[in-house]
Chain A
């Protein structure tokens, strides 16, 4: 049971990185079609929910970790920041696309790279687990 929870938690994290990679292509000047953008956005939503729910579930279930451990609180804060940034990037890109303007602007690109750094910081916390 715990193994499967961990598998699905890690799989959800892979989905988050799929979105980050796909939006990075846009930030670097590539063009994603409507279907690709749809897939990237769904990966972000499913991955976000999966990492949060399964991560909290694992923290509550496993004896060696507690939900109030510093690194887990840090991960929850980073998750919130990444979600906020990701949602802003998604909305602004959708508005730019619907308005027929340029798909990427400097501000959206900056927000995307901030989201990327936040996801990277989440991975650092998950691997090093400081204080655990």
Chain B
């Protein structure tokens, strides 16, 4: 049980780290580093975080609890909705690399990553304070 939790927390921390790296790189017009941080850092971290979350969920018997606690719902809702935003940001960063300039794509990546980071702030709050 502890290993699944360790994996979940570590991948969540790496996910947030790579998102901040991507945002600061894109903000500084280093689109290639931003794109690589999203593709090779954020997306794999998200997958490990989500798989480990499901592992913890099953191991701790939360799948047998009805109704599901609010903090678990917040966790699933934020993780799943933000994956689409991360994919969209990765595609925008890739297009910016191909074009060799940012313009609107740079703004799009920054807005998407800001939304994701705010959602994760809420998720971290929910996971630690566990509101019912």
Contacts and interface: CB of A to CB of B under 8 A. Distances in A.
In this complex, the interface size class of chain B, counting residues with CB under 8 Å from chain A, is 20 to 34
A35 B25 CA distance: 9
In this complex, the interface size class of chain A, counting residues with CB under 8 Å from chain B, is 20 to 34
A10 B10 CA distance: 12
Interface of A: 3-4, 6-7, 10-11, 13-14, 17-22, 25, 30-33, 35-36, 39-40, 43, 120, 123-124, 127-128
B44 to A, nearest CB: 13
26 contacts: A3-B129, A4-B129, A7-B129, A14-B12, A14-B13, A14-B16, A17-B13, A18-B16, A18-B21, A19-B17, A21-B18, A21-B21, A21-B41, A22-B17, A25-B21, A30-B25, A31-B30, A31-B33, A33-B25, A36-B24, A43-B20, A123-B9, A123-B10, A127-B5, A127-B6, A128-B2
B39 to A, nearest CB: 13
Listed residue (A7, A19, A128) with the most chain B CB atoms within 10 angstroms of its CB:
A7
A36 B25 contact: yes
Interface in B45-83: none
B79 to A, nearest CB: 15
A10 to B, nearest CB: 5
Contacts of A20: 17
Contacts of B14: 17, 21
Contacts of A25: 21, 33, 37
The 8 A-B residue pairs whose C-beta atoms are closest, nearest first, are A21-B17, A33-B28, A36-B24, A17-B13, A3-B129, A7-B128, A127-B6, A18-B17
A124 B2 CA distance: 9
Contacts of B130: 3
Nearest to A21: B17
Contact of B125 (A7, A33, A35, A36): A7
A39 B20 contact: yes
B27 interface: yes
A39 B16 CA distance: 14
Listed residue (A3, A11, A21, A124) with the most chain B CB atoms within 10 angstroms of its CB:
A21
A4 B126 CA distance: 11
